Chains A and B, each alone.
Chain A
Amino acid sequence: MQSSSYNANKNKLKSISQYISIVYANLFQQALSSNELVEITRCIESIGDKEVAHEIVLSNFMNSDDVIIPSDSLMRADLDVFLEETYKRFFIRDITEAEREFFLNFFNSNPNVSAEMVYMSFALSNEYQFY
């Protein structure tokens, strides 16, 4: 897979357990235990609207002290680098110039947007559901 190609040729939907394993690794920089993987997968299966289920599980992650997210000041210090790293981290591809322009404008007009909110939006996005 070429990380620089548009959408990086992703065409397979992640299973619930693949999605959870990968998002956990992205947010905590470590692997999820197999027990927790089974438990979280069951939780997601128990709620029909997967967008709602994912949002609840991810926001539960965000309440953990162990989640690794850049500070907001670090994010604002160099938005270009933050965006490039976020695209690589979640989408495994380079950001396009159109995407960069959208986000830079968005950050400028929404000064209270935090790194956590950006990470949530990437983790909940449809592209992130595919590999």
Chain B
Amino acid sequence: MKRRSFLKKSSLASTAAISIPFILPSGRLFAASGMRMADHVVLVAFAGGVRQQESILQRYLDDSQSYPSAGNILYNLFDGSAPTDKIVYGTNNIINGDTPIPKILSQTIQNQGTTFREVNASAVGHYAGVNAMLTGNYMYTQGLRNKPTMPTIFEYLRRHQGEKATKTWFVGNGIGNSIPLLDYSTHADYGASYGANFLAPTITFGSDGEKHLKNAKVYHPEDELDPMYKMKYFLDNVWYSQGKALPNIGNTEEEKAEIKQFVKDMFDKTQAGTIAHPPVSDNGDLSTIGYACEVMQRFKPTLTVIYLSNVDGCHSNFTSYLGSLHRADHGVGHIWDYIQNNIPQMANNTTMMVIPEHGRNLDSNNIEDGNAFSGYDHSDANSRRIFSSIVGPGIDSNLSIGNENNQVGDIVNLTPTIAEILGCKDDVVNSGLVASSKSLFDLI
């Protein structure tokens, strides 16, 4: 098994590495705790609440609407034939949704990597689910509109691996569901100074941003910004002697300048129609993915988390849910294809993980859409069922773990998994702040 041979090699190497401390960019004296399986991780939160039945189980309308049409609508992720009857999830041709989006990947993610077919996700709210995904904890007592109380994987990476702020990105489809709060926690030992850069590109580069951000002045770095910052820093120094500190994720001046330039360039690219969007980009998730690809192209982040959410329409519009699922799969195919073919620094050196934050109910609610399909909420035991796909260097190909009758893995295993890939699992586990010390690899 590839990961076993990796562990064997890494344990030999770590004997030497542990004894050789080095100075991190942050200035902290640090001893390497583990070898990396890859230098980059892209976590796609295939979020919004995804039923196992329409995703990995490939039952399409057969299970949900009592209509005898089964098949795979996520054919970049999974092997399996697409449905042939009552196609509603594609793009519009003669009737709405009748044309499935062509497959992007020649080999599915399932075929290239490892799939955990039946994983537990105990938090069945969007914010709580993504929170559990990023912190490795179920924070049952935590309410919405509060930052995580336990450190996020961004903070572990930045503190223990010395990553710069622009090496960790959280790109979200919108700012609802408290999602922007997940860039860092309030934990006393971690917190803002180890946070990620958050971006919700559909707003930054959407109509609001066009109106209020696009026309921003670009000040000259030496002639204007430098004296401006000197005055600001003087004012801040005076304030710190008496006042309270502000949370700051610690982008350096150079990093801030890079981000501002990135924002400006994205407005230009948006206007020119050259954003790295997937071939079909007709919803918020796919638009977000295009900008996420631009973030990866520009910053080559060590960790990029991409939060998708359009499938949440399932509460009241099952047809739109199917379309959003199909598009999320199209987006995942595009991300993987884009990394391998357009970002040489990340190609063959990136692990991608795809995982919903929770599932959806077994039984429908009473809301029917235009196709007379019933909607599904997320509150019962079926909502705790999700899958997880992993692909990248050192990950076994075409390996399937667990099944409907054999649940293997939990969403809280995700943070240790990312930490293991990026070589800081010991630090994360030894912090004592994660619910499980096991990565998904430990469960194979």
Contact = CB atoms under 8 A, between A and B. Distances in A.
Interface of A: 6-7, 10-11, 13, 36, 39-40, 42-43, 45-52, 55-57, 59-60, 62-63, 96, 98-99, 102-103, 106, 110, 112-113, 117-118, 120-122, 124-127, 129-130
A43 B208 contact: yes
Q: Interface on chain A toward B: helix, strand, loop, or mixed SS?
A: helix
A115 B214 CA distance: 23
A102 B232 CA distance: 12
A49 B251 contact: yes
B180 A48 contact: yes
B243 A102 contact: no
Interface residues of B, number: 52
A47 B244 contact: no
B106 interface: no
Contacts of B240: 126
Nearest to B247: A50
A106 B233 CA distance: 13
A42 B243 contact: no
A129 B244 CA distance: 10
B246 interface: yes
Among A42, A122, A126, A130, find the residue whose CB has the most chain B CB atoms closer than 10 A.
Answer: A126
Contacts, number: 138
Interface of B: 165, 170, 175, 180, 183, 195-201, 203-204, 208-209, 211-219, 223-224, 227-232, 234-236, 238-240, 242-249, 251, 256, 259-260, 263
B234 A102 contact: yes
Contact of A49 (B200, B234, B256): B256
A126 B236 CA distance: 6
Nearest to B201: A46
B175 A42 contact: yes
A95 B66 CA distance: 74
Nearest to B195: A48
B223 A49 contact: no
A43 B239 contact: no
Given A106-B231, A121-B231, A126-B236, A63 B215 contact: yes
A122 B211 CA distance: 24
A126 B246 contact: yes
A117 B224 contact: yes
Contacts of B227: 106, 110, 112-113, 117
Contact of B199 (A36, A47, A106): A47
A80 B207 CA distance: 42
A96 B208 CA distance: 40
A130 B236 CA distance: 12
Given A46-B180, A99-B238, 15 more contacts: A7-B239, A11-B243, A45-B200, A46-B208, A48-B196, A49-B165, A56-B263, A59-B219, A60-B216, A103-B231, A106-B231, A113-B231, A117-B224, A129-B246, A130-B243
Given A110-B227, A113-B227, A124-B232, A48 B215 contact: no
Counting chain A CB atoms within 10 Å of each CB, which of B196, B211, B215, B238 scores highest? Answer: B238
A35 B170 CA distance: 27
B208 A52 contact: no
A55 B247 CA distance: 16
28 contacts: A10-B243, A13-B244, A39-B208, A39-B211, A39-B212, A42-B203, A45-B203, A46-B175, A46-B180, A47-B204, A47-B263, A48-B170, A48-B197, A49-B249, A51-B248, A52-B251, A52-B256, A57-B216, A59-B216, A60-B215, A60-B217, A106-B231, A112-B227, A113-B231, A117-B227, A117-B231, A124-B228, A124-B232
A106 to B, nearest CB: 7
A43 B204 contact: yes
B211 to A, nearest CB: 6
B216 A63 contact: yes
Contacts of A110: 227
A48 B232 contact: no
B165 to A, nearest CB: 8
Contacts of A42: 175, 203, 208
B215 A52 contact: no
Given A6-B242, A42-B203, A56 B213 contact: yes
A121 B216 CA distance: 16
Contacts of A130: 243-244
